[in-house]
Amino acid sequence: MDEHDHTQHKHTVDATPNVTEASHLHSDEIHTGHEQHAHHAHMTHDHASHQEPVPHAPENVAAKPPAAHPHEHEHGTAPAQDHGKMDHENMEPASGHAGHHEHMVADFRKRFWVTLGLTIPVTLLSPMIMMLFGFHLDFPGANIVVFVLSTIIFFYGGKPFLKGAMDEWKQRSPGMMLLISLAIVSAYIYSTFTAFFITGSDFYFELATLILIMLLGHWIEMKSQMGASKALEELIKLMPKVAHKLDSAGNSSEVSVEELVPGDRILIKPGEKIPLDGKIFEGSSTVDESMLTGESVPVEKQPGMAAIGGSINGNGVLKVTVEKVGNETYLAQVIQMVTNAQQQKSKAQGLADKAAKWLFYIAVTAGILTFGYWLLAADLPFALERMVTVLVIACPHALGLAVPLVNAVSTSIAARNGLLIRNRTQFEEARKIDRIVFDKTGTLTEGNFGVTDIVPAEGIAEKDLLTLAYSVELQSEHPIAKGIVRKGEADQLTPLEVKDYQNLTGQGLQALVNGVLVAIVSPGTMDERALAYYRSKYAELAQQGKTVVFVLKEDRLQGMIAIADMIRDSSYAVIAALKEQEIESFMLTGDNSRVADYVGKKLGMAQVFAEVLPAEKSKHIVALKEGSKKVAMVGDGVNDAPALAQADLGIAIGAGTDVAIETADVILVDSDPQDVLTIIRLSKATYRKMVENLIWAVGYNVIAIPLAAGVLNNQGIVITPAIGAAVMSISTIICAVNARLLKID
């Protein structure tokens, strides 16, 4: 059989056993029908009765709320939900994380302003401030007032840090929260003792200002970040709530998807989403699986073939036997893979936390050594004062603002350049990327078909050939027909009069154009009718993965037109620029190998992986990470979600699905792959500025901690809380100014 004679093309599907583990996907189910050539789907399309399915439109990306700061509240990643048990009617996924986070931002803002109000009287009653500015303020019970105000500040303003410290302690992962808590707890306890039980200087001023500055830093950082991921909720939203169940007599009734069990038979009408995974037992149609599998051309479905829940039915009516429900469905398995990858990624620490971890160890070690030495060399009150001074100075005020201020400026620059940063920790790692993996459909390509080649027959003008095809295809809503229509509109062609439009089942379509019979047919139809055509040229185009249609006028060949998913102009530039930076580029796609290889060759990519399932995509990412390589993934579809979550940096195209957007660490608002280069440049510039600020914030500790410990006490040189506060203020101002100087080349 000639491979292009699709009227005789048969498809068989082996029975696939039920999946018992959510992490496993069956390739034979997903790729059923992939081997059919693109023009077959076009030629067997019922143009006359086509109903264009409504695509899953992403929400306005820019309107998504800011992210929960990891220290204040750790969202446990939700487990994969059993779709067959979910209450769809009461589900409001968009309101959960986003609404909660907005409340958290408001809570931090409130804590900051309340703490600021309480810090003012504490500051005025501070002996250090009175001495510094030359005034005296005292009254009976002043120390009690300061104690009460500081106690409120400690428990109310310090609550987020104390809770965060408990989490870090349980996870055996010291960070910013534990360092802050170490300083404020030691300052509060020691100051309380000096107020009522022992003689010594209190640290109430340092306690209040440290909590105030840290609240400000966290508030700034939370406002500059995007909302917590709603990837799992968005995946769940892809599934229909109801299905048309068929009884034994063939009558349909609308039921909730939760009521369906394996073996039930359901009806899928034109344009509807397929509710669950199953096998088609009656009917034929084209099904759009691009969002799930990455196959750019709608797949022709016949009885005996698999139907994937979440894919969109085309023009035909399908009857399907349900095979999988709940956690066994394809989409539930994607949810599980995303969940697993996100849980692994959430353990990463940012630069500020890494710095805080080492400062915590240094502070504890220095504090213990200081206390032990002065307990032997002097007395208990002096030993306690030196130890607390060390612990407080080890957590500089500027540390709370060093990174948040840079992040706020970085986020603003990113937004102006069409980038939305969701995960700051992963964004920091972008500077170290060794390999970038691109999805093809909708990422490197536009996701829309366009005319790539027009080959007129001898004596036929190219414009006349395109005008004939344009006039006939104007009547169709098929994606490939739209590609020809777009070309005709771009060339400002005037359509001819078309009558008696007909779909030729398994062959193509025909119509009377200005009273002359014009047909647009497949290569198989040309062979059936024994019509001559340029076989060598056709073979060349087909080898490039292009869909080829033939235009006939009264059964005489007018020429052929090749259509393909169009490569973005910016894709050429970004791959070339990555090569210059010695960053390898790979393509990972669910589309067929001929199309993928053609695009990969045109762009000059290092390697192409085609016909890859979502589970395999994430496995490829893991493999590419071997050798301590940092890997970024750029994608736009549901099928990319596991790989986006698995990659060191997940980058979503803004025009892609909500699922991809919610899974990614960075979103390209303008859907331009060239913005990947901006991510790398901005990440490098941001990291440099963070390091500079951390040096200003903690660099003086090299001198301050030994002096606070009293190493030069015998020479009469000892750092007091007043001197420490002055130095901290200077370093905080320097950090603020330095952050504003951030820019990208």
Active site residues: 439
Sheet holding 318-324, edge to edge: 252-256, 242-246, 265-268, 318-324, 277-282, 306-307
The answer to whether 272 touches 240, Cβ cutoff 8 Å, is yes
Q: Give which of 156, 154, 165 is closest to 202, Cα–Cα.
A: 154
Strand order in the sheet with 547-553: 445-456, 556-567, 547-553, 516-521, 508-513, 498-504
What residues contact 360, with CB distance under 8 A and at least 6 apart?
Answer: 174, 175, 178, 179, 182, 394
Asked if residues 601 and 567 have their Cβ atoms less than 8 Å apart, the reply is no
Which residues pair with residue 512 across a beta bridge?
499, 517
Residue from 654, 626, 627, 632 nearest 644 by CA: 632
Amino acid letter for position 21 = E
In the structure encoding, which two tokens stand for residue 341, read together? 């990858």
CB 437 within 8 A of CB 632: yes
Alpha-carbon distance 475 to 50, whole Å?
10
Give me the amino acid identity at 335: I
How many C-beta neighbours within 10 Å does residue 646 have? 26
**Which strand (E) or helix (H) includes residue 408?**
helix 399-416
- What lies within 8 Å, CB to CB, of 287 at 6+ separation is 274, 298, 299, 301, 307, 308, 311, 312, 313, 314, 318
Element (H, E) at 437: strand 435-438
Are 640 and 667 in contact, with CB atoms under 8 Å apart? no
Which residues have C-beta within 8 Å of that of residue 226, sequence separation ≥ 6?
64, 65, 66, 67, 420, 421, 422, 667
Pairing of strands 312-313, 285-288: antiparallel
For the purposes of burial, counting CB atoms within 10 Å of the CB of 117, is it exposed (0-12), middle (13-18) or buried (19 or more)?
A: exposed
What is the H or E stretch that residue 675 is in? helix 675-698
Place of tokens 């590419």: 624
Query: Which residue's structure tokens are 């990455």?
Result: 294
On whether the CB atoms of residues 433 and 649 are closer than 8 A, the answer is yes
Phi then psi for residue 116, to 5 deg, are -60, -45
CA–CA separation, 723 and 201 (whole Å): 14
For strand 265-268 and strand 277-282, is the pairing parallel, antiparallel, or unpaired?
A: unpaired
Q: Are 290 and 565 in contact (CB under 8 A)?
A: no
Contact 475, 510 (CB under 8 A): no
- With contact defined as beta carbons under 8 Å apart, do 493 and 468 qualify? no
* Other Cβ atoms closer than 10 A to 194: 20
Q: CA geometry: angle at 623 spanning 619 and 627, to 5°?
A: 155
From 8, 415, 426, select the one nearest 229 (Cα to Cα).
426
- Lookup result for tokens 């609308």: 254
Alpha helices in 309-379 (DSSP H): 330-345, 351-377
CA distance 655 to 646: 21
